[in-house]
Structure formats: C-alpha cells, structure tokens
Amino acid sequence: MSLNRSYATFYADKFYFGIRTSEVIELTKVADITPVPLAHPTISGLINLRGQIVTAINMRNRLGIRQANNPGDVITVLIEKFGVMYGLLVDRVSDILELDEADFESPPSNVSNSTK
C-alpha cells in the first residue's frame, strides 16, 4: 500500500530540500535575529516569535555553503521537531509536493535514517 505525503520544498543556494508539511508551522521573513555569543556557527541566533524564543539555524552554514550576497532576503521556515520549534534560514521557498513514500529509496548505510 502506498502512502502519499506532502512536502514543503525550499532552496539553500543551489541545493533543493523538502520537509514534511506536517512539521512546518509557518513561513516568514524575520528581521530581528539576536546573535548568541559562542554559539555554533550553524546557529545564527534567536528569534522572538510572538513571545516564543526560537533557534535560528542558518542552512548555508549547516551545509558549508558560502553566504548569500544579500542575507536580508532570507526566508525562515518555522518547523516543529520533537516538540521543539526551530527556524530554518533558507534562500527561497518553492512548492508543496505530493510524493508517494513507496518511491523513496533508503538512505545509504553511512547515513542514519532519523525520520522513522
């Protein structure tokens, strides 16, 4: 039996990603990110989202990609994973895709499958 799932897709530089829409809370342009001293370079800082503090993860830093020429155009994909909200800082948002889970391949043996 096949199972269709919806994925929100986005770009970080030329890399194309998708995340289950059930994990996406909202998409927004956040102007104020408060830096956190001594934080890992992946963490751009903290976002105050209507009183809730959210960790902002820079997807370009996470992937080891050079920074964008205009970092002010960043879109924040707010997601909830394991009961914690995060903001993924991405270059642009694309489409919502309906994909059949039966068409997916298992990850290589050297990559953990943490989505199950």
pLDDT in tens, 27-77: 988 778 999 999 998 999 999 988 899 999 999 888 888 876 665 678 899
Cβ contact 18:115 at 8 Å: no
In Å, how far are 20, 33, 40, 94, 113 from 45, measured between CA atoms?
A: 24, 6, 10, 24, 27
pLDDT in tens, 31-40: 789 999 999 9
5 or 56, which is more confident: 56
Q: What is the pLDDT of residue 41?
A: 87
What percentage of the chain exceeds 70 in pLDDT? 89
CA distance 80 to 86: 6
Whole-number average pLDDT of the chain: 85
Domain 4-103 indexed as CATH 2.40.50.180: yes
